[in-house]
Structure 1
Amino acid sequence: MSVRRGLAWMSLSQGGFFVIQFGGSVILARLLTPYELGVYAVAAAVIGVIGAVQAFGLAGFVVREHELSPDLLASTFTINACLAAMLAAAIVGLSSVSSSFLRETGVRNVMMVLATLPLLGAFEFLPSTNLERRGRFELISLVSLMRALSATAVTVGLAFCGFSFMSIAYGNVAGAVVSIVLFNTLGRQHVSFRLSLSEWRRVTKFGLQMVAISGVNALGGRAAELVMGRLLGLSALGLYARASSLNSLLWDNIHLVIGRVVFVDFADLRRKGVSLHDSYLRTVDVVTAVLWPAFAGFAILSGPLIETVYGDKWVGAAQPLSLLSVAAIVLVSITMTWEVFVVCGETGRQARFEVFRAGAGLALFSIGCTVGLVGAATARIGEAILSLFLYRPHLERLTETRLREFLPIYARSAALTLIAVAPATALMVLRGWSEHTPLLSVLTAIGAGIAGWLLALRWLRHPLQSELTRLAGSFRTLRQAS
């Protein structure tokens, strides 16, 4: 499947996913308190710390490899299943300890339910990764959408019935079950439960490097949430989790979608011996043109957006959301770092970088927590700047690019960002940056910003303009095919 066709499918899926996830979060915000969300968030954080060991990145291994023998696939399945069992046992074992540490029995109850997730995930590993390797994004999109729909429906339904924070845990399990059934049905030719350790050295070497990359990253993030829960309380953690989840809506629904498709494309280019130069520059051009304005808009309109959508009890999440959005803008400038390092076989180097970055980031975040929510969120900006200096030289080396080639790209994206957020900025200045700014005024400013952004794309003859045109053509093709 072509990159644009794959991106079209993933965009359709994530558009639906965004509507489901955002709609569900709005309903839950009316049903749950910041404290209740904090209980779930801290349980998920403990699991994230334990789960760092499961971040073996074996899905990326399957996608990246030139040749996949039956023994190699069996070895990856076996190692992944073993890690899942170990993780589930560790979650159960530490559930009571975590509950006592945070003085909340609900943490143990949530962890006991979520302990089933890694075990369930092991049964969809081979069909899902093989479908991704083959670029079957239409099937992956369908499964992702149905998982989100079922998880949200169960979560909201149980929350209405008074299950409090447990509704989120049960919803996640329901979504996982739906995902397993669909992946094993749609990718049944890839289903195999054969066990083998014949290729364990090769798989483990890659996996350990990925633990140091993705695992350490997850470990740092989850440990930071535990620190906040301990120092600032579960209500504060609930507010921060709300800000972080809103920030993730953009990151997960745009950046990660593009990343999944681009990763397959980058891996294919490397297998053919083609330089990543042109593809990477175009990716940076497109991603910054989309995400810089989006995150900047979040930063400016965070107050009225949160007050209108979630209510007064969540207004405390507005400032952290603004600061997290600024950190995201910095990170977008070095987009697709993981994808580039993995396909270029530089996972060892990236592992060392991530250990240093995660440690420094946790230290900064802990110091920030002594100031409060704003201090903690500000620390994320410092961590993003550190990542920029760590990765920039090596991204240029691996993609055979130079800084001077990025400067025109950044200038165009900055101009697009200023045009897009000008109406929102003017509105908030006139309203004294009040979170009670009328919704109609906010929507008008957003609409004016989008219109200006689209006109600027056309005037600048930005590559995104042609990509959007081709993507629209792919959508028409998909509609005709259906």
Structure 2
Amino acid sequence: MRTSLGWSYGGQAFTFIVTFASSVIVARLLGPREMGVFAIAMATYGIISIFTSLDIGTYLLREGEMTKALIRRVYTVHTAMNLLLALLTFGAGAITAYWGGEREIGAVLMLSAVGPLLGIFEFVPSTLYRREMNYGVLTRVGMVRVVITSVTIVACAYGGLGALSPVVGPLVAGVYSATYYNIRRRRELIFRPTREGLKPIVVFGFQMMSIGGVASLTQRLSEIILGRMLGLAALGLYSRAATLASLVWSNVYGLATGVLFVKMSDDLRDKGTLRDTFVLSIRLITAVIWPLVIGLAVLARPAIHILYGEQWMGAAAPLSILMIGQFVALAFGMNWELFVLRRETPTLTRYELIRAVIGLGSFAVGSLFSVTAAAGGRLIESISGYLLYRPHIDRLAETERGEIERVLGESLLLTAIAVAPAFGLMLWKGWAADTSPLLIAAAVALGGAGWFAVLVVRDHPLVAELRKVLDKLGALRGANWSRGEA
């Protein structure tokens, strides 16, 4: 697990830098309205994909015995749903462009229909690498893919493709990754569908769709509501804030939980318990991500001003609120993994539906007023999720009463120490967007030093993990030095 996380985070650090840099360049080439066109097209695509994407890969990760017959069945279901997604997306784009009068939105949708077709060829080999926890290959492919995506998007934006630019990049990268995976695992490729044994996979897929689909549907409908009520430019501002927020969430939290799900699944099969891995994971994740999200919430105004320019300042307040929402969501983190591994997906589905109704309603009400008020709906959604899920975490993870609270209390202390200098600086400067980057860097460095000092004093497991990483790097350097002398 440690090796997989090392590969994942090492590659993701590179991915984050490249993606972030390209997003800054694209934001200066494309305005809020063009990003709004892309966002509303992706919201439509997202709604269609909810009903066609069954997350079948999780089925392969969870099952004990791996056979060619199983892979063939899973491949059949995945291929059928991807073909349906491509057809519906292209149809929606054609209707939007030629009958709805929205040529730009329709063009984005029709071009997006190519993505699911490429996904057919990438699915089996990439999922098998995940099951084997071979994140070295996955990371290397991901790093090349993000470079291709980013360079293509920037080139297209510079060339005047407008809202089509963010679509072309992933498609070009998808051709590369599908080709690479199929060459690497050509002996295991299965392109022949079957009609036997599909029912358990379809049932599982629809359960997963009902779980993740509710949250995704809420998000996509929210974006459409915001775009229709406040305009495409307002949607572009919200989309910029949401994209920046998701960079932190997906590159740190999402990446870790992807590896940890496989590890907890193995623990449950081999040991009958996942408690130790879960507690350690929550302790490490919140110690790192809580300071990040609250720090970005505090520094949202200067961050937006420095990175994207004056035209995007309307995204600063929504960004702060979205980051606070992520802070709340981490307090009941990894709930999805626990419910799925404990085979309590019906309960998870019911709670997600309740949470979605609350979130969509509060977001829609906020959209009547402003982008900032709409983002407040996301915070209300996170609070409702905490109230729904937190009472079940101890039971599902088999933790003692108060154990998770002690972990979260420790991470809250680390967060307060890490963010205090930046918070004090912004108070002193009156939350000015043009606060000196040097002062911001100094405040962040001071907070980081205090954060690390507390980690060492408390003998936090993150320090032990860092020591192991440094020892490993030292051993590698020593081995390379010895080979060089020889």
TM-score for the superposition, normalised by structure 1: 0.96
Aligned ranges 1:34-433 → 2 under 5 Å? 34-99=32-97, 104-433=102-431
Q: Which position in structure 2 is the counterpart of 1:14? A: 12
Alpha-carbon deviations, 1:397-454, whole Å to 9, x = none?
Answer: 1111244111221111111111101110111011000111111111111111111111
- Name the SS for the 2:192 alignment partner: coil
| Displacement after TM superposition at 1:321 (Å) | 0.4
Instruction: State which drifts further: 107-116 or 439-448.
Output: 439-448
Amino acid at match of 1:134: E
| Displacement after TM superposition at 1:393 (Å) | 2.1
Separation in 1, partners of 2:306, 2:353: 39
Report if the CA contact (8 A) 1:131-1:187 is conserved: no
Amino acid at match of 1:174: V
Separation in 2, partners of 1:99, 1:211: 29
Separation in 2, partners of 1:107, 1:151: 21
Q: Which position in structure 2 is the counterpart of 1:4? A: 2
Report if the CA contact (8 A) 1:49-1:218 is conserved: yes
Aligned ranges 1:25-36 → 2 under 5 Å? 25-36=23-34
Report if the CA contact (8 A) 2:145-2:176 is conserved: yes
Separation in 1, partners of 2:409, 2:333: 16
Separation in 2, partners of 1:65, 1:476: 38
Separation in 2, partners of 1:381, 1:43: 24
Report if the CA contact (8 A) 1:36-1:164 is conserved: yes
| Displacement after TM superposition at 1:347 (Å) | 1.9
C-alpha spacing 1:388/1:102, structure 2 compared with 1 (3 Å): farther
Paired residues, what number? 480
| Displacement after TM superposition at 1:55 (Å) | 2.9
Separation in 2, partners of 1:209, 1:476: 46
- Name the SS for the 1:165 alignment partner: helix
| Displacement after TM superposition at 1:468 (Å) | 2.1
Separation in 1, partners of 2:13, 2:366: 35
Report if the CA contact (8 A) 1:6-1:261 is conserved: yes
Amino acid at match of 1:353: Y
Separation in 1, partners of 2:204, 2:471: 39
Report if the CA contact (8 A) 1:8-1:474 is conserved: no
Amino acid at match of 2:314: G
Report if the CA contact (8 A) 1:130-1:190 is conserved: no
Separation in 2, partners of 1:298, 1:197: 50
Instruction: State which drifts further: 310-319 or 180-189.
Output: 180-189
- Name the SS for the 1:436 alignment partner: coil
| Displacement after TM superposition at 1:364 (Å) | 1.4
Alpha-carbon deviations, 1:149-199, whole Å to 9, x = none?
Answer: 101111101111111111111112111111211222233343211211212
Amino acid at match of 2:211: I
- Name the SS for the 2:273 alignment partner: coil
C-alpha spacing 1:107/1:340, structure 2 compared with 1 (3 Å): same
TM-score for the superposition, normalised by structure 2: 0.95
Amino acid at match of 1:305: A
Provide the identity percentage. 36
**Structure with bigger RCO (C-alpha 8 Å, 6+ apart):** 1
C-alpha spacing 1:103/1:34, structure 2 compared with 1 (3 Å): farther
Gaps of 5+ in 1: none
Amino acid at match of 1:312: E
Alpha-carbon deviations, 1:76-122, whole Å to 9, x = none?
Answer: 10111110111111111111444589863210011111111011101
Separation in 2, partners of 1:318, 1:411: 28
C-alpha spacing 1:144/1:277, structure 2 compared with 1 (3 Å): same
Report if the CA contact (8 A) 1:128-1:187 is conserved: no
Separation in 1, partners of 2:49, 2:165: 22
